[in-house]
Amino acid sequence: MRNLFIAVFFLLLLPSTLLAATGVKGRVAWRGQLIPGVQVRAYTAIDMIAAGKVFAISDFAAQDGTYTLELPPGRYYLTARNDSGTPGPGDYFCYYSGAPVIVPQQGFRQVGFNLIQIPQTQHDKESRRSGIWGEIRYQGQPLERTYLYVYKKTESDFKGPAWFIQPVEKGSFRMSLPPGDYWLLARKRLKGGQYGPIEIGDYFNYYYGNPVHIEKNRLTQVKLETITRLSMLEDDPDAVFSGIGGRVVGPQGAAVSGVRVFAYRSSTMTGTPAYISPVTSPDGSFVLPIPEMGNFWLLARQAIGGPAVTGELYGKFQTPDNRGLQLTATRMSKEVQINVSAHP
């Protein structure tokens, strides 16, 4: 018993880095330049960000922009910033738009942050109507042909339909909104369209001042700086793939390109998918990262959103007893083939 007590005592004295085996790690950059002195914060819900209720904070990023934040397995929303108070003009900031980040049972998730510098904005001004006005920008310049997404709730993690979407043709916008709180995001997909996953090279971002509080007869200025997905912040040569891959084929086994694979957590396969793959390559192959355990039901189709239309390539992956594909701690990746045909 005495030996057991001594062993436990010395175990408690070990540094937390030796006891913790899970969390997130990665690099922090601004306009392609790795930035030191930034801290990554983890929250258990989006609403906790504005409330300032932080679950955990990393040490400052090193000179090469790298950071590590130990976290128990679970779902988190992450920000990176260099200021401990309220972010203000000139400060670095990033909300990780791939949230929620799922920390696995073992190891670390690779999460990179592409920072903005918060711009200077004007004070609210009086108006006959309440709302917002401002610009969507990229590296300080107006960004053309974007979409401004307005959400009234955060439960969807800003996936699926927004409360309102406004096309922004030349970068500047003006929008009337009833008094209340709103979350704003901007997205510009190089392939066009309002919906679909953000891919390498697309423009997007979460507004650093979310939620925007709108008062009656007041206009609030919003300068929403966008970023692009950078592969340099996401590549992890040591990472083991977690998710589902394979091929999509048509009649007679011919490869089908240009379709996406959708993963759902329910066999009904309705509503917003949990994960969406990029379009299949010319040989029909796809990769669908899924960083969590559980059962998933798959379908492949050409369009995003709404019911399948006549002639659309469409097909579900069938499993015995319709139990879905199961990802477990011992088998976190699987290969499948999905057959599609023209929807009747």
Reduce the DSSP state of residue 18 to 3 states and report it.
helix
pLDDT at 321: 85
What distance in Å separates the CA atoms of residue 134 and residue 157, rounded to the nearest whole number? Answer: 24
H-helix or E-strand spanning residue 5: helix 2-13
pLDDT at 5: 46
70 contact partners, CB below 8 Å, separation of at least 6: 16, 17, 20, 22, 23, 56
Total-model pTM:
0.79
Token representation of residue 273: 């998918």
Mean pLDDT by 10 residues, the chain (344 residues): 46 46 92 94 95 95 95 94 84 92 86 93 88 95 96 90 95 96 95 83 93 95 91 66 92 92 93 90 93 91 89 91 87 92 92
Give 3-state DSSP helix, strand, coil % of the chain, rounded to 5: 10, 40, 50
Contact in structure between 126 and 218 (CB atoms under 8 Å): yes
Neighbours of 151 (CB within 10 A): 22
pLDDT at 234: 65
pLDDT per position as a tens digit, 228-267: 877 667 666 666 778 999 999 998 889 999 999 999 999 9
What distance in Å separates the CA atoms of residue 45 and residue 165, rounded to the nearest whole number? Answer: 23
Reduce the DSSP state of residue 181 to 3 states and report it.
strand
Neighbours of 337 (CB within 10 A): 11
Dihedral angle of Cα 152, 153, 159, 165, to the nearest 10 degrees = 0
Strand partners, 69: 24
pLDDT at 63: 95
pLDDT per position as a tens digit, 24-71: 999 999 998 999 999 999 999 999 999 999 999 999 999 999 999 999
φ, ψ for residue 99 (rounded to 5)?
A: -70, 155
DSSP category for residue 255? B
pLDDT at 143: 96
β-strand pairing of 125-126 with 212-214: unpaired
First to last CA, the chain: 72
Domains observed in the chain: 24-117 (2.60.40.1120), 126-231 (2.60.40.10), 243-342 (2.60.40.180)
pLDDT at 315: 95
